[in-house]
Copies of this chain bind each other. A is one copy, B any other.
Amino acid sequence: MERVTMADVANKANVSKSTVSQYINNRFEYMSLETKKRIECAIDELNYQPNIIARSLKQKKTYTIGVIVANILHTFSTQVIRAIEDECQLKNVNVIVCNADDQPSKERKYIETLRAKQVDGLIIFPTGGNLDLYKKLEKSGYPLVFVDRSVENTDITSVLLDNEKASFLAVDHLVKKGYRNIAFLTTSIEMNITPRIERMNGFKKALQKHNLPLLEQFCAGEQIHKMQEKIHFMFSQDEVPDAIICGNDLTLLEVLKFCRKKSLIIPTDIALVSIDEVSFSEIYNPPITVVTQPSYEIGTYAAKQLLKKADDHEKTEETIIRFEPQLVERSST
């Protein structure tokens, strides 16, 4: 175990702890070359490594941030996390990632323990279930950034996709391709989760714009484990969809599962466009048309915002930042 402390180094080098401290922090200005060398030697003879915990206690900074993601199963989440980690790496800060598993209670627990661990700030994909806590953090000036979802009645910086536009892109594309019975399907909208709601609204508006009727059974949010049933229902009505917009990657998976089960040919029997990229979209048979989010940019931006807040503790002006979605046409439409 690491036992060697600054005092040991000081002893060995015949200087005081403070001098060693200076050395560690690269304050060489007033240090004689000779003592510098002695300290250097002592350090690597003893194989000394500063204890960052102790430093953190003093400096009230841990060079660690926390990320609490609502549901890590989404490809989008993992991509954003990757971007955050890369950005933080550049600034030499570590990242602790926690998965709230869509449960506000877990989220709350994580927020509390991460704060207790004195992380310098938090990036949260909010479940939406802890408004009081969010507000308390906001009021106390704690560095905080929301990603993917926003929370009403707060001014917390939120980095989001232009979700309505994502739906517009999908609908416009399908209409142009000649599809008219377009359905929209996504995961549960019970918790009023921003992207799902906004994408659904966007879908409805886009239909209007194209003077297409909105059939109730063609627009749904449903829990994953009831999704098959829902799709089945969609296809058992008089009017059957000729295209489905999947509100996110998990929905796409379910729809593909259904197509396979029913031997539906894509895009002949049914066209598909997914909002959110998936790992296999290019190599799937057929390759899947997709509306992508710039997830890497979103993550990088969020991290930069947070690190800035953590640094100078001044509020940023903007509170909601929207990124542009983009349609990638492949062969499923």
Question: Which residues from B are CB-within-8-Å of A282?
Answer: 257
Report, as a range, how many residues of chain A touch the other chain: 35 or more
Question: Which residues from B are CB-within-8-Å of A99?
Answer: 85
Is the pair A94, B112 in contact by a Cβ cutoff of 8 Å?
A: no
**A:60-85 near B, CB below 8 Å:** 62, 64, 72, 78, 82, 85
Is the pair B117, A53 in contact by a Cβ cutoff of 8 Å?
A: yes
- Beyond A2-B140, A85-B99, A94-B96, is A118–B51 a contact (Cβ under 8 Å)? yes
Give 6 closest A-B pairs by Cβ, nearest first: A285-B285, A280-B280, A256-B283, A52-B116, A53-B118, A52-B117
A301 within 8 A of partner (CB) = no
A90 within 8 A of partner (CB) = no
Which of B116, B142, B279 contacts A50 (CB under 8 A)?
A: B116
Question: Which residues from B are CB-within-8-Å of A213?
Answer: none
Which of B113, B117, B253, B279 contacts A283 (CB under 8 A)?
A: B253
**CA A136 – CA B2 in complex, angstroms?**
11
Which of B52, B95, B283, B284 contacts A118 (CB under 8 A)?
A: B52
Copies in the complex: 2
Is the pair A53, B56 in contact by a Cβ cutoff of 8 Å?
A: yes
Kindly list 19 other residue pairs between chains A and B, CB separation below 8 angstroms, not including A49-B115, A49-B116, A280-B284: A47-B136, A49-B112, A51-B57, A52-B113, A52-B116, A52-B117, A53-B56, A53-B62, A57-B57, A64-B96, A64-B117, A85-B97, A94-B98, A94-B114, A95-B96, A95-B97, A260-B283, A278-B280, A285-B285
A1 within 8 A of partner (CB) = yes
Question: Which residues from B are CB-within-8-Å of A283?
Answer: 253, 256-257, 260
Q: How far is the CB of A121 from chain B (nearest CB, A)?
A: 11
A-B contact list, 5 entries, CB within 8 Å: A94-B114, A96-B96, A257-B283, A260-B287, A278-B280
Q: How far is the CB of A272 from chain B (nearest CB, A)?
A: 12
Q: How far is the CB of A127 from chain B (nearest CB, A)?
A: 16
**A:287-327 near B, CB below 8 Å:** 287
Question: Which residues from B are CB-within-8-Å of A92?
Answer: 113
Q: How far is the CB of A70 from chain B (nearest CB, A)?
A: 15
A33 within 8 A of partner (CB) = no
Chain B residue at smallest Cβ distance from A85: B99
Is the pair A94, B116 in contact by a Cβ cutoff of 8 Å?
A: no
Is the pair B284, A141 in contact by a Cβ cutoff of 8 Å?
A: no
Question: Which residues from B are CB-within-8-Å of A285?
Answer: 260, 284-285
**CA A72 – CA B85 in complex, angstroms?**
12
Question: Which residues from B are CB-within-8-Å of A85?
Answer: 97-99
**A:97-138 near B, CB below 8 Å:** 97-99, 112-118, 136
**CA A249 – CA B49 in complex, angstroms?**
38
- Beyond A97-B97, A253-B283, A257-B283, is A1–B140 a contact (Cβ under 8 Å)? yes
Question: Which residues from B are CB-within-8-Å of A1?
Answer: 140-142
**CA A53 – CA B278 in complex, angstroms?**
39
Chain B residue at smallest Cβ distance from A75: B279
